[in-house]
Amino acid sequence: MKKRQSHYKRVIIWTTAAAILLFFSLTILLYRYHQSRNVIDETVNMATADIDPGKDQATLTFDDGQVIDLEGKTVKSDADGVTYLNGQAVSPSKMQFATLTTPRKGQYKAILPDGTTVWLNAESKLKYPTKFAGAERLVELEGEGYFEVAHNASRPFIVESKGQRVKVLGTKFNINSYTNEEYTRTTLISGSVELRNLQNELMVRLKPGEQGRFVLGGIDVKKVDPETFIGWTDNEFQFNGAQLVEVLRQLERWYDIDVDYQNVPNAKVYATISRDKKLTSVLFALGEVTDLNFKMTGRRIEIKK
């Protein structure tokens, strides 16, 4: 009899423990489901006013006042100073300056007079001569550009941007020098570059896989994964520990939106997202990796607490 009672007690204990475990498991599952539904429902609500990604578009402005819309067109300059649009000459051979400008929601690839190829990211400008003359090939950059420089040992290629000068002979590198970013960053893919601070003439040489960043008048050099910083040239957002505020500024430029930074937490983002996706898909992906919800009103984005 005592053995039977002991057996019943053990059954009751195990049954109670199983019920408690089941209760907590269901509670956790329901909580996660609810959180997921919050993100999903928010995305569905935004879908009615979704925003398309950027595309290849830019304008080319010459010193003589000529302005050319480059959307859907290819531009190339030759060594004689002639600029061609879809193979047709659109500027005389006289030397003058041209400014290539991408708007928000724009990017563009162009070939400079020396054969150098440059990719401009959204909201950027590149000023260059239609014919390189003298001992150097000098261009000026605002925003972000990726360069594959044609080699010329006797004539260095120089990029000036936001207080710095980058000097190369022939190499591949990326410069991010937006005025609303805290740092100007130069990332070397291959070759060698000389990075100089124009205020105090401090100079460093970068090796492939290194990034030079202007910090308090100095230059901070660190090893990085360069693909993370040129993913945009392959239509990808690549975030490898990027600050959320920096990620949101990239979205502002690529989708032409405005972000309310009042409730933006100090968070890092690890994600690879196609730049071809519409805005709601990107916000959904960010919500999944940051546990944040985004509210969209027109072209304004805010983070919900």
pLDDT at 4: 43
The single-letter code of the amino acid at 270 is: Y
pLDDT of residue 7: 45
Percent of the chain with pLDDT over 90: 67
What pLDDT is attached to residue 83? 83
Please give the model's pTM, rounded to 2 decimal places: 0.83
The distance of Cα 159 from the centroid of its chain, to the nearest Å, equals 19
**pLDDT tens-digit series, residues 85-113:** 887 887 766 778 999 999 999 999 999 99
Q: Measured between alpha carbons, how far is 16 from 11 in angstroms, rounded to an integer?
A: 9
At 72, list the tokens: 């859907």
Q: What's the pLDDT score for residue 20? A: 58
Residues of the chain short of pLDDT 70, as ranges, are 1-48, 92-93, 305
* Short-list 129, 134, 124, CA closest to 162: 124
Q: CA-CA distance, 188 to 229, in Å (whole number)? A: 10
Q: Write down the pLDDT at residue 215.
A: 78
pLDDT at position 41: 43
pLDDT of residue 93: 63
What pLDDT, on a 0 to 100 scale, did the predictor assign at position 214? Answer: 86
CA–CA dist 221, 242 (Å, integer): 17
Q: What is the pLDDT of residue 39?
A: 44
